[in-house]
């Protein structure tokens, strides 16, 4: 498995505060992704990166921003957290070396916005 860590693993915050989640990988994978998982919705793509400083929006990007200054790190920021952003967030990576794009997942971050 790809070495993917996420921090923090759990976070409770209040509405209106900024929150940054970190994804770190040790596999030198080119592609990185942020998903949110909610009951009844499966996994939905928030943002993704196809290289350092190269990012794009996914299906549910409103209220989120990302940055990737190094290959190994992909940050997800909630500029002003809302209760609707309470969710479990997963980071994933893919090497990009194969056309079929097998993705490897981190352990997740459980975020609660009060």
Partner 1 sequence: AQSVTQLDSQVPVFEEAPVELRCNYSSSVSVYLFWYVQYPNQGLQLLLKYLSGSTLVESINGFEAEFNKSQTSFHLRKPSVHISDTAEYFCAVSDGSGAGSYQLTFGKGTKLSVIP
* Closer residue to partner 1 in complex, CB, 59/79: 59
What is the closest distance, in whole angstroms, from the C-beta atom of residue 17 to partner 1 in the complex? 25
* Closer residue to partner 1 in complex, CB, 81/94: 94
What is the closest distance, in whole angstroms, from the C-beta atom of residue 33 to partner 1 in the complex? 8
Strands 31-38 and 42-51: antiparallel
Using CB under 8 A as the criterion, which residues of the chain lie in contact with partner 1 when the complex forms? 1, 31, 33, 40-45, 48, 50, 56, 58, 90, 92, 94, 96, 99-108
Q: Is 111 exposed, middle or buried (0-12, 13-18, 19+ CB in 10 A)?
A: buried
Quick one: how far is CA 58 from the chain centroid? 11
């Amino acid at each position: 498995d790809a070495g993917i860590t996420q921090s923090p693993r759990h976070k409770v915050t209040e509405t209106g505060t900024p929150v940054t989640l970190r994804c770190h990988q040790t596999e030198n994978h080119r592609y990185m992704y942020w998903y949110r998982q909610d009951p009844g919705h499966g996994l939905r793509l928030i943002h993704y990166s196809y290289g350092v400083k190269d990012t794009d929006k996914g299906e549910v990007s409103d209220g989120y921003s990302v940055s990737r200054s190094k290959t190994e790190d992909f940050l997800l920021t909630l500029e002003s957290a809302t209760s609707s952003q309470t969710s479990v967030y997963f980071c994933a990576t893919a090497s990009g070396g194969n056309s079929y794009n097998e993705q490897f997942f981190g352990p997740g971050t459980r975020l609660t916005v009060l």
